[in-house]
Amino acid sequence: MSDTPDLAVRDLHVAVEGKEILKGLSVEVRKGEIHALMGPNGSGKSTLANTLMGHPRYEVTSGQILFKGQSILDMEPDERSRLGLFMAFQYPVAIPGVSVANFLRSALNARLAPSEKNGNGAMPRKKGIGPKEFRTLLKEQMGLLRMDETFAGRYLNDGFSGGEKKRAEILQMAILRPEIAIMDETDSGLDIDALRIVSEGVNALAGPHMGVLVITHYQRILDYIKPHFVHVIVDGRISLSGGAELALELENRGYDWVRDQDEVEAP
């Protein structure tokens, strides 16, 4: 764990369609750390995730997002990805006709491409990873994650179950090897099977070379992932941070007492 945070969010204010949603949120994530961001519905969790990845609808009105010391506010999502930031999407799209393997190879080559601009966008100059080399990597990672090899041949998210979508997401993370991964979990409908897949994936991949920010409404996921830090977001800012024990306290007491505490402590 280094001194400079790999991801530093400082006093971030974000507006969506003119309405302020994030109201001074700060958080730091380093490689080797697992952070959980928890909070009630509508508190701004997905807004943070979307803003970090550079979704155009989320307007940063003030504050900073630094990745490895560099501001990423003016960067496009693909540039952020090339730098080593990864976001698992809450609602992945199906791409019939494109296999999981082909999709992952394209994604990896895009990640490896030099970021120089060429006309309308960044163009990969090199060939990237070759098919044979990629197959070896894919096989190795699928083995690590204990995935069936036939999975790579299926069309991406086409008829996938919730659990299989999560599997595709985790595999993408394993192949792209981000330095910081952000996982925004659905607030509902994440069944136990999907939850287990995500958790096992995070546990297998998190380590000294990767930091993770797991965003979740429910405490359940934390039965499987043990975070080093837990942050509670209420009304667009983090009102409480602590260790894994904080998640347990939230499970027992809900979010209301954090809200109350916020009122007491507010100037």
Which residues make up the interface to ligand ADP (CB under 6 A)? 16-17, 21, 39, 41-47, 57
42, interface contact from Mg ion, ligand ADP, none, CB < 5-8 Å by kind: ligand ADP
Specify the residue for token string 């979704």.
Answer: 55
- State the minimum distance, in angstroms, from the CB of residue 217 to Mg ion: 7
Binding residue (CB under 5 A) for Mg ion from 35, 39, 46, 88: 46
Residue number, 89 or 151, with CB nearest to Mg ion:
89
**Nearest-5° angle of CA 38, CA 44, CA 48?**
90
Residues between 92 and 121 that touch Mg ion (CB under 5 A): none
* Closest to ligand ADP by CB, 13 or 177: 13
Residue 109 three-state SS: helix
Please name the residue that has the structure tokens 């499987």. Answer: 224
The answer to whether 50 contacts Mg ion (rule: CB under 5 A) is: no
Please report how close the Cβ of residue 162 comes to Mg ion at its closest, in angstroms. 16
Between 42 and 153, name the residue whose CB sits nearer to ligand ADP.
Answer: 42
Shortest Cβ 46–Mg ion spacing (Å) = 3
Given the complex with ligand ADP, which of 5 and 236 has the nearer CB atom? 236
Residue type, 37: L
Cα separation, 50 vs 47, whole angstroms: 5
247 with 222: CB under 8 angstroms?
yes
Q: Three-state DSSP class for 149?
A: helix
* Nearest distance, CB of residue 42 and ligand ADP, angstroms: 4
State the binding partner of 172 from ligand ADP, Mg ion, none, CB within 5 to 8 A by kind.
Answer: none
Among ligand ADP, Mg ion, none, what binds residue 41 when CB lies within 5 to 8 Å by partner kind? ligand ADP
Q: Which of 44, 45, 51, 39 is nearest to 7 (CA)?
A: 51
Q: In 10 A of CB 239, how many CB atoms? A: 20
What is the C-alpha to C-alpha distance for residues 201 and 44, in angstroms, rounded to an integer?
Answer: 25
Q: What are 13's strand-pairing partners?
A: 23, 62
Which is nearer to ligand ADP, 46 or 172 (by Cβ)?
46
Pick between residue 120 and residue 188 the one whose CB is nearest to Mg ion: 188
Q: Maximum distance among all alpha carbons in the chain?
A: 61
Least CB distance to ligand ADP at residue 41 (A): 4
Which of ligand ADP, Mg ion, none does residue 131 bind (CB under 5 to 8 Å by kind)? none
Angle at CA of residue 247, ends 243 and 253, nearest 5°: 130
Q: Tell me how many degrees the CA angle 183-186-189 measures, rounded to the nearest 5.
A: 140
Applying CB under 5 A, the residues found at the interface with Mg ion are: 45-46
